[in-house]
Amino acid sequence: MYDQNHLLCRLSASGRSSKIFATRPDGPDVTYEGLFRGAEALAAALVGAGLMPGDRVAVQVKKSLEALQLYLGTIMAGGVFLPLNTAYTVSELAYFLSDATPRIIVCDPARMNEISAIAGSATLLTLAADGTGTLMQAKGAPGFLAVPRDADDLAAILYTSGTTGRSKGAMLSHANLASNSETLRDTWHFTPDDVLIHALPIFHTHGLFVATNVALLAGASVHFLPGFDADAIINAMPNATALMGVPTFYTRLLDHDGLTHETVSNMRLFISGSAPLLVDTHEKWEARTGHRILERYGMTETNMNTSNPYNGERRAGTVGFPLPGVDLRIMANGKEVPKGEIGVLEIRGPNVFQGYWRMPEKTAEELRPDGWFITGDQGFIDERGYVTIVGRAKDMVITGGFNVYPKEVEALIDAIPGVKESAVVGVPHPDFGEAVIAVIVPENKAVTKDDISTALRTDLAKFKQPKQYLFLPELPRNTMGKVQKKALRDRYAGLFTDAQ
Ligand code: AMP
């Protein structure tokens, strides 16, 4: 019934099996058949509530197996799944709902009253973390026949984190999701024998598409945790084979005494993404566990783009090679740059999204007519073909007319004994336009401004050396562990200008 490239077509092979899909700390195991039957019952509920093909189902609920069934049920019903970060406030939700105009909204029962005030004409249903709510009461019988959709029809809209300006809804087709998940499954050697520790949120591309779809397409099992919990992950490892996490998962697990060679003896793969993994974390992880973390790079608009090799050298500080079928080029001043030179990464391939929802101008700015997507990430390709990301283009500092790539400065600062991590940003400066400043998170040991500035003096040109060092107990991060550079720029915006 489906086109070969349709996500559900790819999933249907595993959908009737009695194999365990999920084990979880707070509920019974769920088989593949149970997962898909539950999803069919929810698809029937959505159609019963008036969902038509192409309608959006906006979902802001806590992570649960039923929430995953709602994702599958939405696409079975021909709808477009639109997950929303559970941290969004009602005023933030008001923007997403007015922009996406969903036919159905599913929210936590605790937020029902607030959200009904901004729901417009959408039907509002509830789903709690324990799987109860009005959505469940509306369940139809399993056996729902999935609504036919083309591979190029939308399966999901995910709003980008919107670190500058308004969030944009990235439109992802069935073919976008199916092709990327299949590539990742093969690249990372996922099979039915795998048990993936799933501790990521499912409102983001990482936990929803990378972790969930790869496990489903492989016919693997997941150890389904409601969120990051170092104890629970350590306890799960002896019976698991793989972990997907953001870098903060790995730094926090390194703080846990239970992380030993023995604990990970059954694990075959640790994957990191969504934010840069510090070289230091990579090295400490290898020393503690004997495993080299496999770092990959992707984004909401493109799914995953590059990965360090499964077999072959996983190089700390790099994001590896373009995935099979994904084209990657580095551009500066309208031209592709030679190896080793920094520019903006552009991506083309079946993974690249269909554009921004109801924002044709934004789409035209970032997605070229010939299919290349301008990522806004800056990086370079080395002689061996490994890609390194140096930061977001908008985070590059231009001081006195010179470009400073924060990552170069951060890497040197992070290597100084006594420094846990750092973030380098540019703030307005009356003479230089922008000045480089460094925000430092010290380790327990005291480290001073002088230690750092002295260490940098020998390695960095003067214009790259920070003009101020600020110390904070931790860096501001979003839920995916990304450092919020804008928050730092805002906080220190008046450092040089206020004195004038
Ligand atoms: P999101 O759309 O929330 O997944 O964010 C995507 C952005 O996260 C990318 O454009 C990169 O700036 C960043 N990112 C993702 N993975 C990595 C990585 N391995 N190293 C550095 N930055 C990354």
For ligand 1, the distance from its centroid to the CA atom of residue 5, given in whole angstroms, is 26
For ligand 1, the distance from its centroid to the CA atom of residue 274, given in whole angstroms, is 4
Q: What percent of the chain has pLDDT over 70?
A: 95
CB 234 within 8 A of CB 245: no
**Long-range pairs of 427-433 with CB within 8 A, sequence gap ≥ 24:** 427/489, 427/492, 427/493, 427/495, 427/496, 428/493, 428/496, 428/497, 429/399, 429/467, 429/496, 429/497, 430/496, 430/497, 430/500, 431/400, 432/399, 432/400, 433/398, 433/399, 433/400, 433/401
What the block records as the tokens of 412 is: 């040197």
Is residue 143 very low, low, confident or very high in pLDDT (cuts 50, 70, 90)? confident
Residue of 378, 389, 421, 484 to mutate, ligand 1, most atoms within 8 A of C-beta: 389
CA-based nearest residue to 219, from 23, 11, 4, 7: 11
d(CA 96, CA 119): 11
Q: What is the mean pLDDT of residues 89-112?
A: 95
* Residue with token string 């002896």: 238
Residue of 180, 377, 405, 484 to mutate, ligand 1, most atoms within 8 A of C-beta: 377
- 343: three-class secondary structure by DSSP: strand
Residue of 172, 297, 378, 387 to mutate, ligand 1, most atoms within 8 A of C-beta: 297
CB 411 within 8 A of CB 378: no
- DSSP code string of 112-156: HHHHHTT-TTSEEEE--TTS-SHHHHT---S-PPPPP--TTSEEE
Residue nearest to atom 6 of ligand 1 (CA): 299
d(CA 101, CA 119): 9
- 205: three-class secondary structure by DSSP: helix
* Residue with token string 């349709």: 6
Q: How many C-beta neighbours within 10 Å does residue 129 have? A: 18
349-400 pLDDT, tens digit per residue, is 999 999 999 999 999 999 999 999 999 999 999 999 999 999 989 899 999 8
Residue 500 has pLDDT above 60, yes or no: no
The whole-chain average pLDDT of the chain stands at 94
Is residue 10 very low, low, confident or very high in pLDDT (cuts 50, 70, 90)? low
Pocket of ligand 1 (CB under 6 A): 160-161, 205, 273-276, 295, 297-300, 319, 375, 377, 389, 392, 480
For ligand 1, the distance from its centroid to the CA atom of residue 297, given in whole angstroms, is 6
What the block records as the tokens of 414 is: 């992070």
> Which atom belonging to ligand 1 lies closest to the Cα atom of 295?
19
pLDDT recorded at residue 2? 56
Is residue 417 very low, low, confident or very high in pLDDT (cuts 50, 70, 90)? very high
d(CA 175, CA 414): 41
Is residue 498 very low, low, confident or very high in pLDDT (cuts 50, 70, 90)? confident
d(CA 210, CA 294): 14
**Which residues have CB under 8 Å from 261's CB, separation 6+?**
288, 289, 290
Q: What is the mean pLDDT of residues 282-298?
A: 98
What the block records as the tokens of 102 is: 């969903």
207 secondary structure, DSSP code: I
457-482 pLDDT, tens digit per residue, is 988 989 999 999 999 999 999 888 89
Q: What is the mean pLDDT of residues 197-203?
A: 97
Residue of 84, 410, 482, 483 to mutate, ligand 1, most atoms within 8 A of C-beta: 482
For ligand 1, the distance from its centroid to the CA atom of residue 377, given in whole angstroms, is 8
Residue nearest to atom 21 of ligand 1 (CA): 276
The whole-model pTM stands at 0.92
What the block records as the tokens of 348 is: 């083309």
Distances (CA, A) of 418 to 206, 286, 435: 32, 21, 24
CA-based nearest residue to 18, from 30, 28, 31, 6: 31
For ligand 1, the distance from its centroid to the CA atom of residue 178, given in whole angstroms, is 20
